[in-house]
A and B are shown apart, each in its own frame.
Chain A
Amino acid sequence: MTKAVRSRFWHSDGRRLSGLSTLLLLLPFFAVIAFVFIYPIAQLLVISFIEPHPTLDNYARVIDNPVHARVLMRTLWTAALVTALSVVLGFPVAYYMSRARGALAAFVAVCVILPLWSSVLVRTAAWSFLFQRNGLINSALMALGLTSEPFKLLYTQSAVVIAMTHVLLPFMILPIYGALRSIPNDYARAAAVLGASRLRTFLEVILPLSLPGVVSGSLLVFLTALGFFITPALLGSPQEMMISTLVSKQIREVLDWPFAAALVGVLTAFVTLLAIVFSKTLRFDRLMGGAS
């Protein structure tokens, strides 16, 4: 038996690669991941625990300092709000997309997928134009006579929430769309002929069956939103930082590496934990499948 195991390591059979070939083919991947992913993050975590001396002080500072605690709460709250808005805005689009046919379906799909292929910076820049004092939104509000003075929109938390929702919406729509597409049309018909109104059909049949897609999309949006950097950095107020902008400030201005490392540690641990808990529901490949 040992002999058989050993021979499978050295020799491929007709359909399966040998253990050795498998190892050799995977080696470049493991090397890059170890060198450029695991090591740098592990190094940060180590720093967060041992500098200036072996201690948990860096982590204590994250919670004890009310300013920092507020940043954490704001980050969680913003991510939750963006997730909720994405569900509310995204679900009907996904539903409509799953029912549309032909040219209409293609049009909706392009509208959803095109932003995914354009730079986050482009999308954030677009919002900063729209939110300017004399940008489209204020111009429109004033032209409609709704306000005589332009609103302050740029550098507010609302701007961050709106733009982040815009950027992350496709990540919500595509998994829900995938789930809805896999529900046969006859389920809705069966519910209808058995006496369910459209609302009841939706609540009793469509919604429960599409729930895995909603959960998967929500996790994707929530996890991404927690660590979002570009949009809060460009559209947010310096008085209302999120965890990523706080990290950036600690490194670029305060040069407090151990504390920045602790912040990264908290963020990474939280996100990884959520991903592990929901590992069954997260379907990343579906995102790609939906995009194709």
Chain B
Amino acid sequence: MKPPTDRGSLVLGAYVYAVLAFIIVPLVIVIPMSFSQNDYLAFPPTGFTLKWYAEYFDSRQWRAATWLSVQVAFLTAICASLIGTAATYAMVRGRSRLVTMFQILLIGPIIVPHIALAVGLYLFFQTIGLSGTVAGFVLAHTVLTLPFVVFTMAAALGKVDANLEAAAMSCGATRFQAFRFVTLPLVLPSLASGALFAFIISFDEPVVSFFLSGIRQKTLPRRMFEDIEQNLTPVIPAIATLLIVLSIAILLGGHALRSRSKTQSSAG
């Protein structure tokens, strides 16, 4: 007698890999297309050229959009990390009814559709002159990324024993010193990982950027949107390829940070 072949598992496996192909193929397909000599994005791609990458890097408009997005994402990551860490620390260690209010408000930016916030900010920022400014983008993206920083930090801070700070304070440290020299080093990898999260969300954020962008101040997603909407050229696959490489790099970076934080917290 032989072990029976497991037909159920085979069917499940085939189905799962078909779905995974559905997830991955559209992402992967842009890579060969970015090297195609064909101007019209026809499939299959023909020849090999780097001219679309050259076009991206040579274009002043693309460069300006990319630089704006980098600035905004960088500042957003800093603001969201600072505000988010302070608030999370208050949530984990604090004692106040405000904490409950904080937890409710935190869900807001995730639940409320981005289009609603985008339209509201479009109106509001125009009246106070923040539309199309770096400060405007950073404020909007800080709101959108805060929940993700808080979730990351809450998981990390929750694991740090409150007694560690009590011990530091019994050694003469102030509350701030206890945080600075004991808690912060323990949660630093998670803080970096949360900031990375905020950076990539801001960098890729299309909807609010779409409405807040002025004629001259356009973020990279807004420029891409226009390009896809109007004249789809192979510059888009080239940029998409670069962005996918960036995502992979950030994903790997985040993974490295998390595994570091795991070894640290298990050591502590």
The answer to whether B140 touches A44, judged by C-beta atoms less than 8 angstroms apart, is: no
Report the bound CA distance from A113 to B123 in whole Å: 35
B108 touches A (CB below 8 Å): yes
- Chain A residues with Cβ below 8 Å from B50 are none
Contact of A289 among B16, B91, B105, B155 (CB under 8 A): B155
B162 touches A (CB below 8 Å): yes
B240 touches A (CB below 8 Å): yes
Q: How many inter-chain residue pairs (CB < 8 Å) link A and B? A: 284
Contact of B151 among A14, A126, A227, A288 (CB under 8 A): A288
The answer to whether A125 touches B244, judged by C-beta atoms less than 8 angstroms apart, is: no
How far in angstroms is the closest Cβ of chain B from A159?
A: 12
Contact of A166 among B23, B99, B155 (CB under 8 A): B23
Binding site for B on A (CB under 8 A): 8, 12, 14-19, 21-23, 25-26, 28-30, 32-33, 35-41, 43-44, 47, 89-90, 92-93, 95-96, 108, 110-115, 117-130, 132, 134-136, 139, 166, 169-170, 198, 223-224, 226-230, 233-234, 244, 247-248, 251, 257, 260-261, 264, 267-268, 271-272, 275, 282, 284-285, 288-289, 292
B175 touches A (CB below 8 Å): yes
- Chain B residues with Cβ below 8 Å from A38 are 108
The answer to whether A17 touches B163, judged by C-beta atoms less than 8 angstroms apart, is: no
B215 touches A (CB below 8 Å): no
- Chain B residues with Cβ below 8 Å from A230 are 206-207, 210, 225
The answer to whether B237 touches A41, judged by C-beta atoms less than 8 angstroms apart, is: no
B154 touches A (CB below 8 Å): yes
- What does DSSP make chain A's interface, helix, strand, loop or mixed? helix
How far in angstroms is the closest Cβ of chain B from A165?
A: 9
The answer to whether A36 touches B94, judged by C-beta atoms less than 8 angstroms apart, is: no
The answer to whether B207 touches A15, judged by C-beta atoms less than 8 angstroms apart, is: no
The answer to whether B27 touches A271, judged by C-beta atoms less than 8 angstroms apart, is: no
Report the bound CA distance from A32 to B80 in whole Å: 10
The answer to whether A92 touches B19, judged by C-beta atoms less than 8 angstroms apart, is: yes
Per-residue 0/1 for B151-181: is the Cβ within 8 Å of any A Cβ (1 yes, 0 no)?
A: 1101100000011011001100001000000
The answer to whether A272 touches B112, judged by C-beta atoms less than 8 angstroms apart, is: yes
B267 touches A (CB below 8 Å): no
Smallest Cβ-Cβ distance to A285: which chain B residue = B151
Report the bound CA distance from A204 to B251 in whole Å: 37
The answer to whether A122 touches B110, judged by C-beta atoms less than 8 angstroms apart, is: no
Per-residue 0/1 for B62-91: is the Cβ within 8 Å of any A Cβ (1 yes, 0 no)?
A: 000000000000000000001110110111
Report the bound CA distance from A259 to B200 in whole Å: 34
Binding site for A on B (CB under 8 A): 8, 12-13, 15-16, 19-20, 22-24, 26-27, 29-30, 33, 40-44, 82-84, 86-87, 89-91, 93-96, 98-99, 102, 105, 107-124, 139-140, 142-143, 146-148, 151-152, 154-155, 162-163, 165-166, 169-170, 175, 200, 203-204, 206-207, 210-211, 221, 224-225, 228-229, 232, 236-237, 240, 243-244, 247-248, 250-251, 258
The answer to whether B162 touches A15, judged by C-beta atoms less than 8 angstroms apart, is: yes
Report the bound CA distance from A157 to B126 in whole Å: 33
- What does DSSP make chain B's interface, helix, strand, loop or mixed? helix
The answer to whether B115 touches A229, judged by C-beta atoms less than 8 angstroms apart, is: yes
Report the bound CA distance from A284 to B117 in whole Å: 19
Smallest Cβ-Cβ distance to A199: which chain B residue = B8
How far in angstroms is the closest Cβ of chain B from A189?
A: 16
Report the bound CA distance from A136 to B86 in whole Å: 49
Report the bound CA distance from A229 to B118 in whole Å: 11
Q: List 17 A-B contacts (CB under 8 A).
A: A15-B166, A28-B86, A29-B84, A38-B108, A44-B123, A92-B19, A111-B20, A115-B23, A117-B251, A121-B224, A125-B228, A126-B30, A136-B43, A244-B115, A268-B116, A285-B154, A288-B148
- Chain B residues with Cβ below 8 Å from A264 are 115-116, 119-120
The answer to whether B113 touches A40, judged by C-beta atoms less than 8 angstroms apart, is: no
Known contacts A93-B20, A121-B206, A229-B114; A136 and B29 CB within 8 A of each other? yes
The answer to whether B115 touches A21, judged by C-beta atoms less than 8 angstroms apart, is: no
The answer to whether B23 touches A284, judged by C-beta atoms less than 8 angstroms apart, is: no
Report the bound CA distance from A132 to B243 in whole Å: 22
How far in angstroms is the closest Cβ of chain A from B98?
A: 5
- Chain A residues with Cβ below 8 Å from B99 are 22, 26
The answer to whether B93 touches A17, judged by C-beta atoms less than 8 angstroms apart, is: yes
Known contacts A118-B27, A198-B8; A28 and B82 CB within 8 A of each other? yes
- Chain A residues with Cβ below 8 Å from B87 are 25-26, 28-29
Report the bound CA distance from A137 to B118 in whole Å: 34
- Chain A residues with Cβ below 8 Å from B225 are 121, 230, 233-234
Contact of A126 among B27, B116, B251 (CB under 8 A): B27
How far in angstroms is the closest Cβ of chain B from A32?
A: 6
The answer to whether A28 touches B83, judged by C-beta atoms less than 8 angstroms apart, is: yes
Report the bound CA distance from A12 to B13 in whole Å: 56
Smallest Cβ-Cβ distance to A28: which chain B residue = B83
Smallest Cβ-Cβ distance to B255: which chain A residue = A292
How far in angstroms is the closest Cβ of chain B from A234?
A: 5
How far in angstroms is the closest Cβ of chain B from A219?
A: 10
Contact of A16 among B13, B93, B237 (CB under 8 A): B93
